[in-house]
Structure formats: structure tokens, C-alpha cells
A and B are shown apart, each in its own frame.
Chain A
Amino acid sequence: MTILRGVFPLLLALVLPGAMMAAGDGGARVMAVPIQPNVGVAIDLTASDNPNDAGGVINLEWAMDSGGVEPDSIGVVRLDPSGEADTLAVLPAGTVFYRDTTAVNGTEYTYKIVSYLGGKVAGVSETATAVASAQWLHSGRIGMLVILSIMAALILYYIETGKKGKELYIREIGGLAAVDDAVGRATEMGKPVLYIPGIMDMDDIQTIASMVILGRVARKTAEYGTTLLVPTSRSVVMSVAQEVVKEGYLQAGRPDAYVKENIQYLTDDQFGYAAGVDGIMVREKPAAIFLLGTFYAESLILAETGRSVGAIQIAGTAMPSQIPFFVAACDYTLIGEELFAASAYLSREPKLLGSLKGQDAAKLFFIVLIVLGVIASTVGQFWPPMATVADFLRDLVTVE
């Protein structure tokens, strides 16, 4: 530190030409020094590791000495362990916060705030040191961790219950009950089934849910010997869809009927895809159309064209802005979570049914939480102790 105290002013003078360093202003904790009299300098400088991150970030905070002349600008100077000084930024006068995002984890840095007046160093603040580090646990997300853990435990419990043979009841979902009917209708009419899995990629949860339903539809079309067309908007979705359909045909004992070319990629472009699918609809005239996945502005274009060719349409999406169009133009619509429940409903697999039951338990938990929160907030207006309860409940579901 003694060496540091001596070297820092020298380095600062080298880095900032014209700097006039006050003797002894380097080092860990020295007082702010105005080099030119009556020039405001930064005081109460603190440096601290940015919390809840992967490291590499140090936050600097300070206050400006209000007395005297306001500097033109202020500079943030960092000194690394080897003694090398670096001006990280020159900030407008009045700035009191800076985030150093170039720190290396585990390295101790020393910081100073320099006041400039007329292009020269007019004052130097006290120094502050900090070490950047990564945190394994985000302290602002512990509530979410607890709730997710409870949900996971409930889901695992119900899955185990289902595996042991206990019947897990799921209420009837209108649109899903019509899946078999739609494929049957296409078979009777000798027309293909068109399956549209939305326009998003495989990292979208709705596309994943759609692929599970596609498996069921593929099995049915294989059993009935009906052609299944799946135009996709993403190449990865095409690959997954090919695998899913192939698996469905294998399960139905009809691997020979699988036609890879019926699952094709059109384009990533939203309206290019819509134009392509519309073309398929009017030329192939499918008897049943499934629109299941993530849709945006193309939803009504697709649903209206499907309606115009006389197909029975089953749609489902969790996009709130597109559901109205499907409700208006399709025969059956899976609203929001019904799309995610579809895989469990159709397959009746204990694993998926258990998962759905676990999610229902979570919904019940949230309903109770909301009701308690509303009661506590309302009563808390007139009786303060209940306001504390309301704050606690809100904190429980607050995520930073």
C-alpha cells in the first residue's frame, strides 16, 4: 500500500497529461483533495461488487462536494494490482454513479474519481477498492425457488401416484375430443390433414407442446391411412416434426406409409410462410386443419383461408392477441393452457397426467394466495397489522 500511495499519483499524471497530483492522495483511504482551490471533488466514494450476477461488474457511488466551483467533467480512474492506471470513463459533471463492467473476477481494483476543470485535473477523490465476484444464488429469487420447489415436489408426487396405477381425472377439453373426429372426417373425404405448428422455433414452449400433439395426430393419420402435411417455418421444427411423425407412424405399425417430403420447410419469413401455407390449403384442399403453436399476425390469414376451403379447423395457442381470431374462424379453439394440457389429455400417460395434476395444485395455491393477498390488502387499509401480512405475501412472489 505504501508503494501504491507513491506510484498512483505518478501514474495518474502520466495517464492524464497536466494532472497536478496532491502529495499522498493515492492509496486505499485518503481524503478528497481539491488541487485547484474551491473546485468540487467527489466525496464518500464507495466501490462494491454488483450483487446477484456472474461477476465482472463493480459499482461505484459517490457524492459531489457541493461547495465551490462545479468541475467541467469527472473521470473514473482504475488502478489494477500491477499498479497500472486506466481512465475508464469521462462523465458529465453531477454524475454520482458508475458501473465498471470490465472487471476481472477475483482481482482487487482501486478506484478514484477525478474532477476536471478547463481540461486539467482540478481535484482527486479519496480511493476505494473492490473485488468482483460471481454469486451462485440470486438473493432476489429465493421466493421463486421455494415456490418452484413446492411445485416440482407436487408434480413428482402426482407422477408417482399415476405410475402406481391410481386413476388421475382430467376434465373433458372440447377441442381435443374433436381431434379423432377431424382425422376421421379427412379419411372419409379422401383428403389430407394439414398440421401447422406455428411460426416459432423449438425453443418456444408452445411449439414443444404442439409437437406432442402432432405425435398423436400422426398416429391417427397412420392408422386411418390419411395423408398428413406439415409445412414448417423453421428448419429445426421441420427436423423435429419429421422425427415425431416418423415415430407416430412406427407406433401405428405403418412405417411404410411415412412420407418424409410431406413435412417440409417453407421459409422463416412470417408472411412468406403464410402465403405458402395458403397456397397449400387452396391446392390440396385439406379436410382437417390443425393450427397449434405460437402464432402472430398470420393467424387470421391462415384461419380464414382454411375456413374458405371448408376444412374442419382445430386451433390452439397461448398468444392472447391471436386467440380471438381463432375463436372467430375455427371450429374448436384451445385457449392458453389447454394447449399445454393437450398432450396429457390425448396420451393419458401417467407421467404427463401427473404433471398436469401438479400444475393444477399450483394453480390452487396461487388462487389461495391471491384471495389471502386481496383480503390482507383490503383489511390492511383499516387495520395496519394486516398491511404487513399483505406486504409479506407480495414479497413472496416478488422476483428481482
Chain B
Amino acid sequence: MNWEILGIWLGAAVTLCLYSFLYRDNPFYKFVEHLFVGMSAGYWVIYSIYNVLIPNWWENLFPADGGFDAIWLVPGIFAMFMLARMVPKVAGLSRLALGMIVGTGAGLNMVTFFQSNALAQVKGTMISVAAGSVWEVFSSLVLVVGVVSGLVYFFFSKAHTGFVGRTANMGITILMVAFGASFGYTIMARLSLLIGRCTFLIEDWLPTIPAMLGLGG
């Protein structure tokens, strides 16, 4: 047996163990699940050390051209604060680091989200609804009515009754149509993943069975 065939059999075994979950929870699935979770957790620890901690912090603290950049002690201290959770007496220090992460994340995202999710959308909707062919006019109207009625649906200060209610209903209807299209599109992508696994089992794994059983090949 060579290493390639061993790898194929391992991949097939793990795939079949995972698919056994479709029947019910069982020891095979449980074993592979724990293997998957444990291995990926270990992998991410190493990944974080070599792709985050060392290049983003250690190499800045001790630059390649020598010396020592003391400012990089600050994030190091905040990282130590996170570990302070393990010592009950100083566990409160971790809140400082958590506050920094949450505050920075919210602040940075506010500008990005506002730019891409609000202003760019508003600009893209300010279009003429009388330009182009009949179909283009119809598309433009759907876009404008969809955006405005969708915004009305997400208006929380007014009850969805009367004119506001009817507009909000139109908004959620258009949203649901969009979700339906997205659902179908994504299902197609998932099916291609399933086909990929089946192709592996049929074209890579099945042909190795006769050789493993000593039936020639």
C-alpha cells in the first residue's frame, strides 16, 4: 500500500463516517466529529501563532534589523490581560482587553458599513426611472420601489398599519422574492459540493477497492 492510497482510504472513511449522521447519531460520527473539532482547533492555534502573533506582533517588537520597539509592548500587555481570566483575583483585567476589542471593532466597522451598506446603496438607487427600454424602466422602478419599501419595513418607530403597513408588506414581499432566488442559487452551489464528494468516492476511492482486496488492478 502506498501513501496515496492510504490518503484516499482515510478521506473516504472520514467522509462516510460524517455522512452516517444522515441516518442518526452514532459512534462513527462521534469519533470523526471529535477528530475534526480537535484537529481544527489545534491547527488554528498553530495558524494563529505563525500567521498572526509572530508577523503582527513579535516581528514588530523585535524588528529584523535589530533593536526593540517598546510601543509593541502595549498589545502584548493587553494580550496578557486576556489570560488574566485564569487567575480569579485579577480576572477583571480581561474586561479592559475585551472592551478594547469590542470598541475598536464597532468603531472601525461603523465607517466601513456606513459607506458600503448605506451611502453606496443610496447613491446606486438615485437613478432615472424613465431611461432606456420598457424593460429597463420596469427594472429601475422595481429597484427604487423595492429599496424604499424595504427601508419602510425596517422602520421600527411606526406600527405596520395603514399606508405604512401596506408599503412594509410590499417591502417584505420583495425581500422574500430575493431570498427565494438566493436560496435556489446557494442550493445549486451546495449540490456542487455534494457532487464533488461523490466524484471523489466513485472516481478516486472505488477503483482502489479491487487492489486492496487483491483482485488485480
Contact = CB atoms under 8 A, between A and B. Distances in A.
Interface of A: 143-144, 147-148, 168-171, 173, 201-205, 208, 236, 239-240, 242-243, 265-269, 271-273, 275-276, 278-279, 282-283, 297, 300, 320-321, 323-325, 327-328, 335-338, 341, 345, 356-357, 360, 363-364, 366-367, 369-371, 373-374, 376-378, 380-381, 390, 393-394, 397-399
B56 interface: no
Given A202-B98, A243-B98, A399-B119, 16 more contacts: A171-B158, A171-B160, A202-B105, A203-B104, A205-B113, A208-B102, A267-B44, A278-B21, A282-B24, A282-B25, A283-B25, A324-B179, A327-B176, A356-B156, A369-B122, A380-B128
Given A203-B101, A266-B37, A327 B126 contact: no
21 contacts: A170-B156, A171-B158, A201-B105, A243-B98, A275-B18, A276-B33, A276-B36, A279-B30, A324-B179, A324-B186, A325-B186, A328-B183, A335-B172, A335-B175, A370-B122, A371-B148, A373-B125, A374-B125, A381-B128, A393-B126, A397-B126
A370 B156 contact: no
Contacts of B95: 243
A397 B119 CA distance: 5
A394 B18 CA distance: 52
B142 to A, nearest CB: 13
Nearest to A398: B123
B148 to A, nearest CB: 6
B130 interface: yes
A137 to B, nearest CB: 14
Nearest to B181: A324
Contacts of A297: 190
Interface string B24-57: 1100011011001111110110001000000000
B82 interface: yes
Contacts of B128: 374, 377-378, 380-381
Interface string B173-206: 0011011101100100010000000000000000
B157 interface: yes
Contacts of A269: 36-37, 40-41, 43-44
A276 B36 CA distance: 8
Contacts of A373: 122, 125-126
B101 A202 contact: yes
A276 B109 CA distance: 29
A367 B36 contact: no
A203 B82 CA distance: 15
B90 interface: no
A399 B182 CA distance: 29
Contacts of B159: 169, 171
Contact of A364 (B129, B144, B155, B182): B155
A268 B105 CA distance: 18
A360 B155 contact: yes
A15 B110 CA distance: 48
Contacts, number: 181
B73 interface: no
B123 to A, nearest CB: 5
A-side interface mostly: helix
Nearest to A345: B156
A236 B101 contact: yes
B44 A377 contact: no
A390 B123 CA distance: 10
B139 interface: no
Nearest to A366: B122
A370 B41 CA distance: 47
A199 to B, nearest CB: 12
Contacts of B12: none
Nearest to A323: B179
A144 B116 CA distance: 11
B54 to A, nearest CB: 17
Given A171-B159, A243-B98, A390 B82 contact: no
Nearest to B118: A366
B99 to A, nearest CB: 10
Given A324-B182, A363-B151, A397-B119, A357 B157 contact: yes
Contacts of B40: 267-269, 272
A336 B172 CA distance: 12
Contact of B123 (A273, A320, A397): A397
Contacts of A272: 36-37, 39-41
A286 to B, nearest CB: 14
A53 B136 CA distance: 40
B105 A336 contact: no
Contacts of B182: 320-321, 323-324
Nearest to A269: B40
B30 to A, nearest CB: 7
Contact of B154 (A147, A169, A338, A378): A338
B127 to A, nearest CB: 6
A251 B94 CA distance: 21
A360 B156 CA distance: 7
Contacts of B102: 202-203, 208, 240
B129 A171 contact: no
A379 B150 CA distance: 24
